[in-house]
Amino acid sequence: MRFAVDTGGTFTDLIVEDEVGNLHMFKSPTTPSDPISGVLDALQVAADGLGLSRDTMLARGEMFIYGTTHAINAIITGNTARTALLVPSGHRDILTLREGGRLEPFNFTVAYPDPFVPRALTWEVPGRILADGTELEPLDEAALTRSLDEMRHAGIEAVAVCLLWSIVNPAHELRVAELIQAHLPGVPFTLSHLLNPIPREFRRASSSCIDASLKPMMRAYMHTLVDRLKSAGFPGRVVVVTSQGGVMDADHVADAPIHLINSGPSMAPISGRYFAQTDEDTGTAIVADTGGTTYDVSLVRRGRVPWSQETWIGAPYRGVMTGFPSVDVKSVGAGGGSIAWVDGGGMLHVGPSSAGAVPGPVCYGRGGTLPTVTDASLALGYIDPDFFLGGTMRLDAVAAREAIQTHIATPLGMSVEAAAASIISIATENMVQAICDITINQGIDPSEAVLIGGGGAAGLNSVLIARRLSSPRLVIPQVGATMSAAGAMMSDLTSHYHATFFTRSDAFDFAGVREVLNDLTSRCQEFIDGPGKGSLAQTVTLWAEARYPEQVWELEVQLPPHGIHTETDIAALVEGFHRAHEEVFAIRDAGSPIEIVGWRATVACRIRAQEGGTLANSIARPIANPVRKAYFEGSGYVDTAVVRFEALDSSETVRGPAIIESSFTTVVLNPGASATRRASGSLSILPGRD
């Protein structure tokens, strides 16, 4: 058996793959104070659903795949370790000055953001390496030793080291590491040239600080996870979802916890890519994962999930720049638990605040008092209060209506139904804007991409989103309610390696590039022979980070597997860059040479025989009322057919207005929409018009 878990802000999603390859979905409320307890609770729910004791079920397990928001939550809440930063002399303000840029250039009331590591905890190291790798000034070990003593007295719990041009010659950083071990024994540290060997000093410093600050907590958390699973009876391998769309062993990721920042959201595009290809035969898709707290949007482009180094925790320029590559995911505070509120000027807003798992929406009956998107959906008749989570949790429709009446309808002078429909409309617009931001910025017309709707709350308004985008198709996978967990189940064991080496297409250094690529390939092979040993298949992919001369930013271009050895290979690289530049910026300079700044290799080891998977056959529970009244804006209350998701036959079509529900999700087919069941179990929806 295999287990894939995604711990969200509201629910913990679990997918179990049994011995014959069938998938089983389960959900359980997240325990914010102890996420691992929430995981064990979800495992108990699964054991009960499979008719097994938890011990017996876990004893059959061979792999546990875990996605967590624990790392990013620690950064957002400031619960990271007290971290020191070591920089070259004269570079003490690197985190303070950043790279420039403002979200609102003329709003001078916004305070300048504080650096991730304060200046008071930043120490300068005398010594300097030049860009060609030669030593201009030797490392002053006596001064460094004094700084380490000051760190010890300051109660430092972790150290980040970012020295200039260590990516070319790491000798000084390596010596600093030896002295840290000698003078601060047991204190974890991060060396920038090992973690993120890129030439941009601020991003390298920022990623090193984030990584170091997470090490004490995430090492303890990963060890606790493994120990508690073992104590519960699990004998297999524990791997953790990374920000790069793969998985790594828990003990390895504990030594580089920056990989965990986008652990959960990075998995949705992996499963979205599979369903886009399987159900609609396309390599271009928008993947939207609607949870209880956030709405996560990502892309699939030509069958590839794009990466980004422009990852911010918080608002751009005001938050924390990770400077570390991760799957390009945009998250906004819009989900099933997003709170609706009216401001002093009488304007309706939805989010970004969320009711979360505790207390949850008003209808949960756990102490929530402010109306949410889920409450609005319940008030409109979309959700069956007696069939939420398959009937294991009864919702309070009366309380939901009263909250909407008190906080929204009365202040705005409208009916409860109109207020609830307005909440859905505002949430829809927030989600559409998030999609437009990520697609248009990357040269994708959203009207030409299939929309993949995942997450437990996706079905409530995805038809409306698809209409606003003019999407040709909307796909709701059968496992869409646990989209990220499904992606985790499909993921490969991966690792990524980077090197900096400058050359130009019109003066190409074949020998230097060959040496760099050979080194990257060798490191990939070491991974295959180590953590990837016994994997079913292995793939190594090479990339170049290129730009036009004098440009500031680079674009990735995939290289042929054999690397670059001839002028023909260079011509293919240049054309690949021109094409990528035109797609993103709508312009190419066909006569210009290109500069290649960085080189990257990714290795993926397949650890699961099948890529996708279908849910185990389940008996569709009878519907107490196959037709119920539901409210649609512009139509009012209409008789709406209610159909069980699992009862639909392959190729069967349902026309709106209709509600297709399962134990895990509710899909609202607005008037004018139609849905067809695919062989994979997915719903393929034509959004239509009202």
Q: Is the pLDDT of residue 617 over 80?
A: no
Q: Is the pLDDT of residue 10 over 80?
A: no
Q: What is the pLDDT of residues 160-183, one digit of tens each?
A: 999 999 999 999 999 999 999 999
Q: Is the pLDDT of residue 97 over 80?
A: yes
Mean pLDDT of 228-252: 93
Mean pLDDT of 397-424: 96
CA distance 542 to 516: 11
CA distance 252 to 218: 11
Q: Is the pLDDT of residue 481 over 90?
A: no
Q: Is the pLDDT of residue 621 over 70?
A: no
- Look at the alpha carbons of 574, 579, 585, 588 in this order and tell me if their dihedral is positive or negative: positive
Range of the domain at 153: 82-187
- Nearest-10 crossing angle of helices 483-490, 268-280: 90
Lowest mean pLDDT among 156-160, 568-572, 590-594, 649-653: 649-653
Q: What is the pLDDT of residues 418-460, one digit of tens each?
A: 999 999 999 999 999 989 988 887 778 889 999 999 988 899 9
Enumerate helices (H) and strands (E) in the chain, giving the number of each: 18, 34
Q: Is the pLDDT of residue 299 over 70?
A: yes
For the chain, what is the radius of gyration of the CA atoms? 26
Mean pLDDT of 399-427: 96
Domain endpoint, select from 146, 165, 187 = 187
Please check whether residue 243 lies inside any domain of the structure: yes
Please check whether residue 465 lies inside any domain of the structure: no
Please check whether residue 149 lies inside any domain of the structure: yes
* The predicted structure's pLDDT at residue 392: 81
Mean pLDDT of 379-398: 90
**225 and 175 both lie in a single domain:** no
Share of the chain above pLDDT 90, in %: 66
Q: Is the pLDDT of residue 616 over 70?
A: no
**538 and 512 both lie in a single domain:** yes
Mean pLDDT of the chain: 91
Please check whether residue 278 lies inside any domain of the structure: no
Q: Is the pLDDT of residue 111 over 90?
A: no
- Looking at residue 251, which CATH number applies to its domain? 3.30.420.40
The string of DSSP letters for 195-247 reads H---S-HHHHHHHHHHHHHHHHHHHHHHHHHHHHHHHTT--SEEEEE-TTSSE
**173 and 224 both lie in a single domain:** no
Please check whether residue 14 lies inside any domain of the structure: yes
CA distance 300 to 9: 25
Lowest mean pLDDT among 6-15, 382-391, 571-580, 660-669: 6-15
* The predicted structure's pLDDT at residue 690: 67
Mean pLDDT of 624-632: 88
In this structure, what are the phi and psi dihedrals at residue 296, rounded to the nearest 5 degrees? -105, 125
**115 and 139 both lie in a single domain:** yes
**104 and 171 both lie in a single domain:** yes
| 182 or 111: which leads in pLDDT | 182
Q: Is the pLDDT of residue 236 over 60?
A: yes
CA distance 377 to 392: 19
Please check whether residue 542 lies inside any domain of the structure: yes
**50 and 117 both lie in a single domain:** no
Q: Is the pLDDT of residue 241 over 60?
A: yes
**What SS3 class is residue 599?**
strand
Burial 670-684 (b: 16+ CB within 10 A, else e): bbbbebbbbebbbbb
Helix boundaries (H) for 78-155: 94-97, 141-153
**226 and 177 both lie in a single domain:** no
Q: Is the pLDDT of residue 140 over 90?
A: yes
* The predicted structure's pLDDT at residue 307: 82
Q: What is the pLDDT of residues 15-60, one digit of tens each?
A: 999 888 888 988 888 887 788 988 999 999 999 989 999 999 999 9
CA distance 454 to 460: 11
Please check whether residue 557 lies inside any domain of the structure: yes
Q: Is the pLDDT of residue 550 over 90?
A: no
**154 and 124 both lie in a single domain:** yes
Domain endpoint, select from 201, 229, 260 = 260
- The winner for highest mean pLDDT among 17-26, 207-216, 618-627, 655-664 is 207-216
**597 and 675 both lie in a single domain:** no
**679 and 636 both lie in a single domain:** yes
Q: How confident is the model at residue 112 (pLDDT cuts 50, 70, 90)?
A: confident
Lowest mean pLDDT among 55-64, 188-197, 257-266: 257-266
| 379 or 103: which leads in pLDDT | 379
Lowest mean pLDDT among 83-87, 244-248, 263-267, 618-622: 618-622
Domain endpoint, select from 199, 226, 260 = 260
Q: Specify the number of domains making up the chain.
A: 4
* The predicted structure's pLDDT at residue 618: 59
Share of the chain above pLDDT 70, in %: 98
Q: Is the pLDDT of residue 619 over 60?
A: no
Please check whether residue 153 lies inside any domain of the structure: yes
Q: Is the pLDDT of residue 197 over 60?
A: yes
**116 and 141 both lie in a single domain:** yes
| 354 or 130: which leads in pLDDT | 130
**89 and 152 both lie in a single domain:** yes
* The predicted structure's pLDDT at residue 608: 87
- Looking at residue 540, which CATH number applies to its domain? 3.30.1490
